[in-house]
Amino acid sequence: MNSLALFQAALQSSSRPAIIDRQGAYSYNELLQQAAEVRQTLLNDKSDLREARVAFLIEPGFEYAAVQWGIWQAGGIATPLGLKHPTPELEHVLQDADVSTIVVQPSLKERVASIALKHRCRLLDTQEIAAQATKQPATTQLTTNITPDRRAMILYTSGSTGRPKGVVTTHANILAQIDALVDAWNWHFDDHILHVLPMHHIHGIINVLGCAMRVGGVCEFLPSFNAQDVWSRFARGGLSLFMAVPTIYAKLIAAWEQASPATQKEWSAGAQKLRLMVSGSAALPIPTLETWESITGQRLLERYGMTEIGMALSNPLDGVRRAGHVGKPLPQVKVQRTNEAGEVVDDKTPGEIEVQGPNVFQAYWGQSEVTTASFRNGWFRTGDVAVVDQGDYRILGRNSVDIIKTGGYKISALEIEDVLRTHPQIQDCAVVGIPDEEWGERVAVNVVCPDGKTLTLEPLRAWCKERLAAYKAPSLLKVSEQLPRNAMGKVQKPQIRALFSPSPPPN
């Protein structure tokens, strides 16, 4: 099977609604029609893009799905860009992936115009595509270039080991990731999911949009996350699924607690009607799980995955969902845990999660050595450590001190440090993650300033947001005369974390 299965499912559901966004409702036939227009414009009289990388900067909604499908139908590799990413991060993707074309909405064209010119990328906006395309019936006859082993998508990591890496998945990988969730979570054609997640991240692309399209369901997008808007949509009814990161659930709880008793009752009743709510991309705090269940009646389903593998583990759709656990392997996914020597360990011994199966990515773009090092005996090494408790996996954390999980993103302390060291008032720095109930971890930095200079948090955050995604900007700051180091000159990050720990109460 390959991505043709998505288009075939769309043909079978041609008259049914596929996507709802702020512009209106669109059928599967309209989605196929616009995808064909994108394909035609991209090809420009060629027969096949031959895996050329096509980046796209499109707001979540109908046009996003149409552009993604059109790139695939043209034989290209879809490379989504982050809407909130600053220019340096967008430029990194364009340069690293050697992008040939960028598709963009007119309102976002200025974001990439200069870097498209710099890197000699063809720049197309969606209005131009609509104007240039010759109208033709929606059909899968135009998709013969798609074969299972062809590369389909490059998603860039959040930068968990330095600069973001391009994760290459084939059409077969994508369908395997989708079908595992369709099977495990019993997706069906009358499902209707509310989408509030970023669309440059596997959670939003595969778990939500991909699964809905695979079964001929409805994916409804909100322009951006707003807690009151989400609660109001729950209350209107007609939804069956919702998926989010723990931070979103925390914000929804906060909004509910501030609402009037009558509004709380209305919101809770609406949320209770959904058949499934899922939390992922970061560890779900048990108080959040329990509070959400108490106000909605919904026991959140936790799962575990990452950009390189899609989802690998999941709590059950039917059955006990254990707090602090991420369940068992999904269909067709093999999981084992090993020690540093690569030996499989028993359930009670912490071990690194390794994954094997049709869901596992093909390679990191342009980084063959890194790809090779990420596998051991055919198993992908996730870098996450877990134990198994009565058959359910419990994640203990990363096997690296330089990985920070915040708001559903995995980011690299090393990348942030590299950028911070270019600040004129920073002589040296060290970045760590500090546990936080809402965000999972907060990004904290300990800096050393040149003589006679100092630094405060808000100006630093503003400076960072011009160079890094907002979620990478430190939210905690300490200024010191020097960083703690060992005899070899290595920074002692446990000591830095201690600087940000609450002071013990007086005796």
* pLDDT tens digits along 476-490: 999 999 888 765 456
- Residue-level pLDDT at 92: 94
CATH number at residue 333: 2.30.38.10
Q: What are 170's two structure tokens?
A: 């084939």
Which of 382, 398, 414 is at the close of a domain? Answer: 398
Indicate if 57 and 94 belong to the same structural domain.
yes
Question: For residue range 277-296, what is the model confidence (pLDDT) as tens digits?
Answer: 999 987 788 888 999 999 99
Indicate if 329 and 455 belong to the same structural domain.
no
472: DSSP letter = G
Q: Distances in Å between the alpha carbon of 93 and those of 55, 80, 102, 116, 338? A: 9, 9, 11, 11, 33
- Domains held by the chain: number: 3
Rounded to an integer, what is the distance from CA 294 to the centroid of its chain? 28
pLDDT (mean) for 314-339: 96
Give domain status of residue 455, yes or no.
yes
- pLDDT band for 409, please (50, 70, 90 cuts): confident
Q: What are 429's two structure tokens?
A: 């720095």
Instruction: Work out the burial of residue 257: count CB atoms within 10 Å of its CB; fewer than 13 is exposed, 13-18 middle, 19 or more buried.
Output: exposed
CATH number at residue 445: 3.30.300.30
Q: Residue 335's beta-bridge partner residues?
A: 355
- Residue-level pLDDT at 131: 80
Amino acid at 403: I
Give domain status of residue 327, yes or no.
yes
Say if residue 297's pLDDT is above 60. Answer: yes
Indicate if 379 and 462 belong to the same structural domain.
no
Indicate if 332 and 392 belong to the same structural domain.
yes
Indicate if 394 and 413 belong to the same structural domain.
no
Share of the chain above pLDDT 70, in %: 93
CATH number at residue 84: 3.40.50.12780
- Residue-level pLDDT at 403: 76
Say if residue 142's pLDDT is above 50. Answer: no
Indicate if 466 and 330 belong to the same structural domain.
no
Say if residue 216's pLDDT is above 50. Answer: yes
- pLDDT band for 361, please (50, 70, 90 cuts): very high
pLDDT (mean) for 32-50: 92
Say if residue 24's pLDDT is above 70. Answer: yes
Say if residue 414's pLDDT is above 80. Answer: no
Map tokens 């969606």 to a residue.
Answer: 126
Phi–psi pair at 425, nearest 5 degrees: -105, 15
pLDDT (mean) for 110-119: 94
Beta strands in 315-454 (DSSP E): 328-329, 334-338, 351-356, 363-364, 375-376, 379-389, 392-398, 403-406, 409-412, 428-436, 440-448
- Residue-level pLDDT at 450: 86
Indicate if 73 and 98 belong to the same structural domain.
yes
By the 8 A CB rule, do 209 and 193 touch? no
Nearest CA-CA partner of 220 in 197, 253, 187: 197
- pLDDT band for 437, please (50, 70, 90 cuts): confident
- Residue-level pLDDT at 457: 96
Nearest CA-CA partner of 416 in 407, 435, 429: 429
Give domain status of residue 421, yes or no.
yes
Indicate if 32 and 160 belong to the same structural domain.
yes
pLDDT (mean) for 436-447: 93
Which domain, by its residues, includes 470?
A: 403-499
Say if residue 141's pLDDT is above 70. Answer: no
Give domain status of residue 507, yes or no.
no
- pLDDT band for 472, please (50, 70, 90 cuts): very high
Which of 111, 144, 174 is at the close of a domain? Answer: 174
Give domain status of residue 184, yes or no.
no
In this predicted model, which residue has the larger pLDDT, 355 or 487? 355
Phi–psi pair at 47, nearest 5 degrees: -95, -20
Mean residue pLDDT across the chain:
91
Q: Distances in Å between the alpha carbon of 331 and those of 317, 357, 393? A: 13, 10, 15
- Residue-level pLDDT at 2: 60
- Residue-level pLDDT at 488: 44
pLDDT (mean) for 221-248: 95
Q: What are 403's two structure tokens?
A: 């990985």
- Residue-level pLDDT at 421: 86
- Interatomic CA distance for residues 190 and 402, integer angstroms: 43
Indicate if 345 and 481 belong to the same structural domain.
no
Q: Which residues, at least 6 apart from 421, have a Cβ–Cβ distance to it below 8 Å? A: 428, 429
Which of 398, 433, 452 is at the close of a domain? Answer: 398
Map tokens 């997706």 to a residue.
Answer: 187
- Interatomic CA distance for residues 368 and 363, integer angstroms: 7
- pLDDT band for 193, please (50, 70, 90 cuts): very high
Say if residue 138's pLDDT is above 60. Answer: no
Indicate if 408 and 429 belong to the same structural domain.
yes
- Residue-level pLDDT at 188: 96
Give domain status of residue 24, yes or no.
yes
What crossing angle do the helices spanning 286-296 and 246-258 adopt, rounded to 10°? Answer: 50
- Interatomic CA distance for residues 395 and 224, integer angstroms: 30
Give domain status of residue 189, yes or no.
no
Q: Which of 82-96, 324-338, 388-402 has the lowest mean pLDDT?
A: 388-402
Indicate if 370 and 460 belong to the same structural domain.
no
Give domain status of residue 274, yes or no.
no
- pLDDT band for 136, please (50, 70, 90 cuts): low
Indicate if 317 and 447 belong to the same structural domain.
no
Say if residue 492's pLDDT is above 70. Answer: yes
Share of the chain above pLDDT 90, in %: 74
